[in-house]
Amino acid sequence: MVTAVPLAREGYPFIFIGLGLGYLSALAGWSCLAVFWLLVSGFCGWFFRDPERHTPADPTAVISPADGKVIYVGPDSRFPGTIRISIFMNVFNVHVNRAPIAGRVREVRYHPGKFLSADLDKASEENERNTVVLVDEQERQVIAVQVAGLIARRIVCYLRAGDQVTKGQRIGLIRFGSRLEVYLPQDSRMVAVSGRRVTAGETILGYLNENKEKETAAQE
């Protein structure tokens, strides 16, 4: 039995526009153009696919918010005391983003910018991007930054400051090729490795410091 893969709602306008233009082209007798628009519609349906994911239950695990390839793991001066993990999403990856931890949205901040190729390191600082700051019950902070790319011209974020999220919850998407940055506290135990392919909602990038949880419990 074949199970249909869910689609992100942002994809439906593109799919229907392609179908409509294909239909009109067929009525006009432009068969080649009709086939082209049907292929475009089919590609959009595939691009905006939104498959279900099985998220690890470990409360200290930070999971990947994006499908793609890890292209950097290391320190970053923009957020002192953190380790940055950069994930490049090409046009063939699922582009729905998911919450890396469960907790509260402390801040959502949009930054206008350029549209450099998302695989360039300077894209993290110069491109259009959206920063989401999350904190868990122990006030451990993880930051996710959606970064637009060369083709991506639209960042979608479903969150607002004060929202509560579950780990693996859908938080937004970026259209047509992009990049996502995750910032973990410096005392986290990292398992992400540059060059590794990751899956949103499933792949563990690292583990938050368990001692922080124990210290908070002791203070209470």
Kindly provide the residue ranges of all beta strands, DSSP E only, lying in 50-169, ordered along the sequence.
61-63, 68-75, 82-89, 96-98, 103-111, 129-135, 141-148, 155-157, 164-165
Spot the catalytic one: 86, 124, 178, 188. 178
Q: Per this entry, what is the length of the chain?
A: 220
Tokens 């986290």 -> residue? 188
Cα torsion 168, 170, 173, 176: sign: positive
- Grouping H, G, I as helix, E, B as strand and the rest as coil, residue 38 is helix
Nearest CA-CA partner of 147 in 171, 127, 132: 127
124 is an active site residue: no
Strands 164-165 and 155-157 turn out to be unpaired
The residues annotated as belonging to the active site are: 178
